[in-house]
Structure 1
Amino acid sequence: MTNASQDTAGRGAPASRPEPVPMPVTAVTCMEDRAQVERHGSVELAAGAQRLLVGPVTPLVVDRSLRAEVPAGDGGAGGVRVVDARVVRTYAPPRPGRPGDDASELRRRVHDLEEELRDARWLRQRLESRLAVVAQARADLYRDVAEGAGAGSADPERWADRLERIDEEDGTRTGELHLLRRRLLRTEEELEEARRALRRTEEEPQELTAVVEVVVEADRAGPAVLRLTHLVPCALWRPAYRATLAGDERSVRLETDAVVWQRTGEEWKGVRLSLSTARPTLAAGPPPLYEDELVLRDRSAGERRTVEVDLREEEVPTVGHEPAADGSAGADAELPGLSDGGEVRVMAAASPVDVACDGRPHRVRLSAFTAPCRTELACAPELSPLVARVARTVNGAGHVLLAGPVDLVRGGGFTGRGELPFAGQGEEISLSFGSEDTYRVVRHVEESRGTAGLSGVNHRTVITRTVRLFVSRLDSSPQGEAAVVVVRERVPVSEVSAVEVRLRRAACLPEPDEDVDAEGMVRYTLRLAPGERREITLEYELTAADGVVGL
């Protein structure tokens, strides 16, 4: 196995340039922003040192990543050693065909005129053949007239009818041929004018092609299996999911797909596709170092008496955290990057796949599983006034679920798109399948400020906030059953001892189901009958010591 080299081939290599050996892509490992491509094929070797050309390959091959080897036990020729391997790029005239996307309008015009001229010439040939058939029919009719008149069996009516049809066909085809010849002449003139303009304004573009030059040494002649691996840019993948909630809302089917894009210059046909979260260039070099000068100074008397605090929004990054109640993916709806939890993950497609080199997304199925779930009507009034149907289940895919978009299907129809967070094997995941139109939540917040203690002695600022929630069920069917709605509200969490947060349970109606957790979440479980409305009152105090500013 050797690295890519820019040096010339060894002295033992033949001087003549061999024909390239076609070796298509057989396996691809797609990563976050590039792909590792593997080629595998059989070659015929002669005894001694020789040079092989493999290709064509994409010119985007990363030279330093090129590896060439003869796997042990695969080759028929014994004692095969790879001496050197490198990528050889050359410019060649473009292959015949339609100009590429980057071609000029004039070059496309020349190509269109050439195609139009070719089609017109084929049509002229068909018309001339048709006129030749008409002329042969006329000659046959004249011979039939002469023979019939000489034999005394004349049929003037039949001869006149046939002659009339032959004249009609001859006139029609002659007129079409005359118009076609005028069109041919006009097209030839336009094409010649366009070619002259193209020669004056542009040079013939050259297409960059590449082959892999491999120098090998073999002890004896025979076949051998050669394997080439290298990296290419312009290829990436991201996970995508499809979650379907069963009609009885007791199970969820989660399908895991890989969305693959590639514009490497080569078609991937029937390749073994693997998906990896590895980042080959993540730690390619050490970070730059800068001088960081630290200065110590004494705080002033005012600074010692003042504590600056502020309120900030913070997302709790936990595995399997629940999405927004309305099922939205958040403000950033772009496809997220690969989040593997700090460990490289590798997944593989179950069967060979085809990925066209068109830069378009191609979905590849990775896995699917159906697991029982529990559902609830949940609402986070601070984020949305809607009540959503949330299903909670356990990851039973047999592998981790990377963060990615998930298409939500319920009742046989598409309900929206959310974002599935990273979830390990066996971890609980939450999926919101859209809002329920029969529920509404209205939220009001009232705030009052006061002081406590004596001035200069245990003086404190007290901020009292009262949150009132009105949860309504709008349907009024008397036969309807009571439904359970889970409402989650948030209480600030203090990180400094100078600020205390206290929940006033006596003023809370009804009382929360549980105590405030470490993230400040308060949960209420309500049973609502059809047409019923419930009110929730949540009150808490923020007590700040003297000298605290920013609240």
Structure 2
Amino acid sequence: MPTCGATTGPEAAVPVTALPVTAVTCLEDRTHVERTAVLDLRAGVQRLRLGPVSALAVDRTLHAELTGEHPATVLDARLVRSWTPRGPLPSPEDDSALRRRLHLLEEEQVELGRRRERLHARLDLLGRLAADLLREIGEGAGAGETESSRWSGELDRVDTERDTCGEQLRAVEHRLGTLSGELAEAQQALHLSENEPAELVGHVELTVEATAAGPARLRLSHLLPCALWRPAYRAVLDGDSLTLETDAMVWQRTGEDWSDVRLTLSTARSALATEPPRLAEDRLTLRDRSAAERRTVDVEVREEEIGDLGPAPVLGLPGVDDAGETRVFHSPAPVSVPGDGRAHRVPLSSFTAAAVTEYACAPELSPLVTRVARCDNRSGHALLAGPVDLVRGGAFVGRGTLDFTAPGAPVELAFGSSDDHRVVRHTEESRTSTGMTQRTLVTRTVRLHLSRFSAPGEDDERTVVLRERVPVSEVAAVEVRLRKEDCSPAPDSVDEEGVARWDVAVPPGGRRTVTLVYEMSASSKVTGI
């Protein structure tokens, strides 16, 4: 069983064998690291010190095994951690330029402080001298003395000296303020560049028993936190072909770099509990409806999300969506991921397929006409939900999102809006009561005005697919009918979810108007419409 310990004096004398990372399996919020090394064992029981390894390694997940021509057994494996001491300070003769600059700034600060004290003392002395001179002038004037020229000259000399000392004092104080900022910057730079802080370093200590001397291959594995991955994609639309590149965004700050490792990406969630949920009683009771409930039928209009209207863009990377089944991906080549905590893009796969493109618009959701491309997933694996960088015509046009797509299933991507199209939507609604039964009749008219602004020289006709929804009734008391005779033109198709579709051909500079009319009929018992 792996155990955890701390280093002592004698243990530090054991030679350390390097134990690099050779394979990494990234999970959704952690990683499984595999290390390998070839050990030169001697016969008998011996103790080995391997590393350094990340101090974040999980002790209870440490597993070690030996393979080779001669039988060898791992008797004990443990992780030990220690704080590395600070490096020794350099001697004065070997001081760096930064330390010498800091020393000069400190000397200048001390000298300026002394000069400021001298200027304060001189100003105090000049102040007392001016007071004595004014007292002498007062006493002489009282005794009838008239030495105005001497008194004026002495006062002018004292005032001039006081002004000179004041200017010098202000210059010294200004330089002291600037010097304080320079000293703080130099001390910060010295702290970051030369003062090495103590670092927590981990090592693996193995106790092994070998029947004979010889080389043996060690395979050691453990879990590490502070590492995760998310899927990301890049779609390039070139004419009628779509190229979809599948990448993995990998972050890790485990305290060590991964250099030329075999990378495996998994959607397994090892942190989730495996116990089934507890079952609780769910009692169902029946009761008779009241007279008021029998007289009325309460209906509610609710919104349902329909995937046919195109994916809605989201910001950032979503969580890993694997449709409830663990998915595993392998990097085709060894990769290197620094432990700097930044996102690093790792390519996984790429495929090119023929795409069907159309200009589509759902005016109820957005007045923009979007270029949509569809193709089949020929990557050979499932495409997890993630962001997609969209490239069309050799230029980046935006970022969308891709939903979970099984192998062979259709992929649908929206490559930005077309600025040369404009769609305006107007709705009208009328409500009447008809017949002896006072049925409520709601008639709704939707008009879609589509226009195209063409550049000079354009003569191609463009087909725009317009989609507008019609309510679908789930109760017999409410009837929804599409009045095709009043639609102009009639929809080309209406699917089972009530989405009407028109394929409208628009010439350069042309305008088209589409009218949709439907009615909802409900009896007098229905409330909520």
With normalisation by structure 2, the TM-score equals 0.75
Amino acid at match of 2:465: V
Does the CA contact (< 8 Å) of 2:5 and 2:79 recur in 1? Answer: no
User: Which has the larger displacement, 227-236 or 535-544?
Assistant: 535-544
Q: Out of 481, 494, 500, which is 1:502 matched to?
A: 481
Q: Out of 440, 457, 462, which is 1:483 matched to?
A: 462
Q: Out of 302, 306, 310, which is 1:323 matched to?
A: 310
Q: 2: distance between equivalents of 1:268 and 1:491?
A: 56
**SS of residue paired to 1:70:** strand
The answer for the alignment partner of 1:4 in structure 2 is: 2
Does the CA contact (< 8 Å) of 1:500 and 1:544 recur in 2? Answer: yes
**SS of residue paired to 2:485:** helix
Q: How does 1:287-298 map to 2 (within 5 A)?
A: 287=277
**SS of residue paired to 1:381:** coil
Q: Say yes or no: does 1:422 pair with 2:404.
A: yes
Identity %: 55
Task: List per-residue Cα deviations over 1:124-167 (Å, max 9, x = no partner).
Answer: xxxxxxxxxxxxxxxxxxxxxxxxxxxxxxxxxxxxxxxxxxxx
Does the CA contact (< 8 Å) of 1:33 and 1:236 recur in 2? Answer: yes
The answer for the alignment partner of 1:124 in structure 2 is: none
Q: 2: distance between equivalents of 1:413 and 1:388?
A: 16
Q: Out of 314, 334, 338, which is 2:304 matched to?
A: 314
Q: How does 1:119-134 map to 2 (within 5 A)?
A: none
Task: List per-residue Cα deviations over 1:351-391 (Å, max 9, x = no partner).
Answer: 11111111111011112222111211111111111112211
Q: Say yes or no: does 1:466 pair with 2:445.
A: yes
Task: List per-residue Cα deviations over 1:482-517 (Å, max 9, x = no partner).
Answer: 211111111222333333322221221111112x21
Q: 2: distance between equivalents of 1:89 and 1:393?
A: 53
Q: Out of 76, 79, 85, which is 1:84 matched to?
A: 76
Q: 1: distance between equivalents of 2:471 and 2:361?
A: 18
Task: Using the TM superposition, give the Cα deviation of residue 251 of structure 1 relative to its aligned residue in structure 2, in angstroms.
Answer: 0.9
Q: Say yes or no: does 1:240 pair with 2:232.
A: yes
The answer for the alignment partner of 1:274 in structure 2 is: 264
Q: 2: distance between equivalents of 1:42 and 1:435?
A: 58
**SS of residue paired to 1:228:** strand
**Structure 2, unaligned stretches of length 5 or more?**
90-94, 104-178
**Structure 1, unaligned stretches of length 5 or more?**
98-112, 122-185, 199-203
The answer for the alignment partner of 1:524 in structure 2 is: 502
User: Which has the larger displacement, 391-400 or 414-423?
Assistant: 391-400
Task: List per-residue Cα deviations over 1:53-87 (Å, max 9, x = no partner).
Answer: 3222112212232221224xxx24x2222233332
Distance 1:402 1:351, change over 3 A: same
Task: Using the TM superposition, give the Cα deviation of residue 21 of structure 1 relative to its aligned residue in structure 2, in angstroms.
Answer: 2.2
Does the CA contact (< 8 Å) of 1:322 and 1:430 recur in 2? Answer: no
Q: Out of 461, 472, 475, which is 1:493 matched to?
A: 472
Does the CA contact (< 8 Å) of 1:322 and 1:431 recur in 2? Answer: no
Q: 1: distance between equivalents of 2:86 and 2:439?
A: 81
Task: List per-residue Cα deviations over 1:151-209 (Å, max 9, x = no partner).
Answer: xxxxxxxxxxxxxxxxxxxxxxxxxxxxxxxxxxx99xx89x989xx9xxxxx975332
Q: How does 1:59-138 map to 2 (within 5 A)?
A: 59-71=55-67, 75-76=68-69, 78-94=70-86, 116-117=98-99
Q: Out of 524, 531, 542, which is 2:520 matched to?
A: 542
Does the CA contact (< 8 Å) of 1:445 and 1:466 recur in 2? Answer: yes
Does the CA contact (< 8 Å) of 2:66 and 2:218 recur in 1? Answer: yes
The answer for the alignment partner of 2:254 in structure 1 is: 264
Task: Using the TM superposition, give the Cα deviation of residue 337 of structure 1 relative to its aligned residue in structure 2, in angstroms.
Answer: 1.1
**SS of residue paired to 2:323:** coil
Q: Say yes or no: does 1:372 pair with 2:354.
A: yes
Amino acid at match of 1:240: A
Does the CA contact (< 8 Å) of 2:27 and 2:265 recur in 1? Answer: yes
Distance 1:388 1:529, change over 3 A: same
Task: List per-residue Cα deviations over 1:271-322 (Å, max 9, x = no partner).
Answer: 11111111111234555777878776654333344443323332246xxx56
The answer for the alignment partner of 1:434 in structure 2 is: 416
The answer for the alignment partner of 1:159 in structure 2 is: none
Q: What value does the CA root-mean-square deviation take over the aligned residues?
A: 3.4
Q: Out of 252, 255, 263, which is 2:245 matched to?
A: 255
Q: 1: distance between equivalents of 2:97 and 2:6?
A: 43
The answer for the alignment partner of 2:201 in structure 1 is: 209
Amino acid at match of 2:310: P
Distance 1:315 1:52, change over 3 A: farther
**SS of residue paired to 2:261:** strand
**SS of residue paired to 2:322:** coil
Q: 1: distance between equivalents of 2:87 and 2:523?
A: 79
Q: Out of 44, 51, 70, which is 2:40 matched to?
A: 44
Q: 2: distance between equivalents of 1:40 and 1:118?
A: 46
Task: List per-residue Cα deviations over 1:394-423 (Å, max 9, x = no partner).
Answer: 222222211111111112211111111222
Distance 1:233 1:499, change over 3 A: farther
Task: Using the TM superposition, give the Cα deviation of residue 523 of structure 1 relative to its aligned residue in structure 2, in angstroms.
Answer: 0.7
Does the CA contact (< 8 Å) of 2:443 and 2:520 recur in 1? Answer: yes
Q: 2: distance between equivalents of 1:513 and 1:95?
A: 79
Does the CA contact (< 8 Å) of 1:267 and 1:355 recur in 2? Answer: yes
Does the CA contact (< 8 Å) of 2:368 and 2:422 recur in 1? Answer: yes
Distance 1:308 1:478, change over 3 A: same
Q: 2: distance between equivalents of 1:217 and 1:63?
A: 22
Q: 1: distance between equivalents of 2:380 and 2:62?
A: 34
Distance 1:231 1:543, change over 3 A: farther
Q: 2: distance between equivalents of 1:219 and 1:444?
A: 88
Distance 1:538 1:16, change over 3 A: closer
Q: Say yes or no: does 1:19 pair with 2:9.
A: no
Does the CA contact (< 8 Å) of 1:323 and 1:419 recur in 2? Answer: no
Task: Using the TM superposition, give the Cα deviation of residue 529 of structure 1 relative to its aligned residue in structure 2, in angstroms.
Answer: 1.2
The answer for the alignment partner of 2:428 in structure 1 is: 446
Q: 2: distance between equivalents of 1:547 and 1:221?
A: 93
Amino acid at match of 2:338: A
Amino acid at match of 2:303: E
Q: 1: distance between equivalents of 2:475 and 2:84?
A: 70
Task: Using the TM superposition, give the Cα deviation of residue 444 of structure 1 relative to its aligned residue in structure 2, in angstroms.
Answer: 0.8
Q: How does 1:380-391 map to 2 (within 5 A)?
A: 380-391=362-373
Task: Using the TM superposition, give the Cα deviation of residue 31 of structure 1 relative to its aligned residue in structure 2, in angstroms.
Answer: 1.6
Task: Using the TM superposition, give the Cα deviation of residue 46 of structure 1 relative to its aligned residue in structure 2, in angstroms.
Answer: 2.8
Q: 1: distance between equivalents of 2:101 and 2:455?
A: 72
Distance 1:271 1:94, change over 3 A: farther
The answer for the alignment partner of 2:392 in structure 1 is: 410
Task: Using the TM superposition, give the Cα deviation of residue 7 of structure 1 relative to its aligned residue in structure 2, in angstroms.
Answer: 8.6
Q: 2: distance between equivalents of 1:381 and 1:476?
A: 24
Q: 1: distance between equivalents of 2:13 and 2:298?
A: 76
The answer for the alignment partner of 2:293 in structure 1 is: 303
Does the CA contact (< 8 Å) of 2:38 and 2:216 recur in 1? Answer: yes
The answer for the alignment partner of 2:111 in structure 1 is: none
Does the CA contact (< 8 Å) of 2:309 and 2:362 recur in 1? Answer: no
Amino acid at match of 1:282: L
**SS of residue paired to 2:16:** coil
Q: 1: distance between equivalents of 2:297 and 2:267?
A: 44
With normalisation by structure 1, the TM-score equals 0.72
Q: 2: distance between equivalents of 1:277 and 1:448?
A: 53
Q: 2: distance between equivalents of 1:478 and 1:298?
A: 73
Distance 1:406 1:207, change over 3 A: same
